[in-house]
Structures are given as structure tokens and as C-alpha cells.
Structure 1
Amino acid sequence: MFKKLLVAVFGIGMAFGAAASIADNHADMGGCESCHADGMPSADLAHEAEQCAACHGGLADMDAVHAAHDGMMTCNDCHVSHEHESGADANASCDTCH
């Protein structure tokens, strides 16, 4: 039941955010450097995860769904920044544990 609710809530959020990717929204604020050091992705995306936490707080500081994943996942595991380029399915991350 909880998994179905989580997927439904996540799907609604994705539908509202479909107009612009996360990367597009953040680039409007400060260019690629708002997330990437020197405008280029780091090899392990650790810098990018630190940038997420610097602005949005750590997973432990967020709602229950985020806090439950603290220490197990990073923002990029669920929030695919460049949807239009990567073709990645954010929901696929859930399937590895749930």
C-alpha cells in the first residue's frame, strides 16, 4: 500500500515538473556552476550531491520519505537532473530495494 502511495505521489510530482528539467531550473539560477564544479559533472557526482544539500538541506532534514533514505542514497538516485538527455527512469531506483 505504501509503495503504491509513494509511486502515485512521485508520479504527480513528476507530472508537474515535466515542463522543465531540474537542470533547466537550476541553470536559470546560476548556470551549470550552480550544481557542477567548473560547469562540468564530477566523476562520482559527490560535488553535485553536496550542492543539493547546501541549498535544500540533507535527507535527514527533509520529510519522512527523504529521511528514511538518509545514508543509503543520494539525490541523484531519484531526482534525474537531465531527464531529456539521459533517458533515465528515476523510478528504477526504487525497484532495487522495494
Structure 2
Amino acid sequence: MFKKLLVAVFGIGIAFGAAASIADNHADMGGCESCHADGEPSQDMVHELQQCHDCHGELADMGEPHVHHDGMLECTDCHAPHDQEAATDAEAACESCH
């Protein structure tokens, strides 16, 4: 049942965001700099992941399914900001652990 709930939650998010990638939506708000320092990706992605937390909060504060993954996953383990097709494969991402 939990797996079906996860897929449903991801599916809802995908349905609303299917027209544009996460990166496109964020770039519309403030350019590449809204996620990347000086508009360029960092080597270790630490800056980008901190940007996720600064804007969206910590996983523990975000509700289902995020709260259960706090301390175990990073945003990019489930979300693929520049690759909408990869981001829509939520069930495969969940099955790697569940």
C-alpha cells in the first residue's frame, strides 16, 4: 500500500509539472542562479542541494513521502532537475529500496 501511495504522490506532482522540467520552472523564477552559484553547476552539488533546503525546507519538514527519507536521501536521489523523463520514473526509484 505504501508503494502505491508513493507512486500516486509522485504521479500527482508529475502531472502538474509535466510541461516543464524542474530546472525550467526554477530558471523562470531567477535564472540558473536560483540553484547554481554563478549559474554553473558545482562539482559536488553541495551548493545546489543547500538551495533545495533553503527554499523548500528539510525533508523532515516536508511531509509524505519526504519525512521518511530524512537523513537517508538527497533531493537528487528522487528528483532529476534537468531530465523530466528520468524524474517521471518514480516507481523504479522507489523499487531500488522498497
Smaller-chain TM-score range? 0.7 to 0.9
SS in structure 1 opposite 2:44?
Answer: coil
Between the aligned residues of both structures, percent identity stands at 70
Post-superposition shift, 1:42? Answer: 1.5
| Corresponding position: 1:20 with 2:20 | yes
Letter in 2 for 1:19: A
Q: Give the structure-2-normalised TM-score.
A: 0.87
Moved over 3 A (4+): none
Counterpart for residue 75 of structure 1: 75
List per-residue Cα deviations over 1:67-87 (Å, max 9, x = no partner): 110111111111110125xx5
- Aligned ranges for residues 1-98 of structure 1 at < 5 Å? 1-84=1-84, 87-89=85-87, 90-91=89-90, 92-98=92-98
Q: Secondary structure at the match of 2:29?
A: helix
| Higher-RCO chain (CA-CA 8 Å, sequence separation at least 6) | 2
Count how many residue pairs are aligned between Structure 1 and Structure 2: 96
Give me the whole-angstrom Cα distance separating, in 1, the residues matched to 2:18 and 2:44.
Answer: 26
- What is the TM-score normalised by the length of structure 1? 0.87
Alpha-carbon distance in structure 2 between the residues aligned to 1:13 and 1:97: 21
CA RMSD for the aligned pairs? 1.5
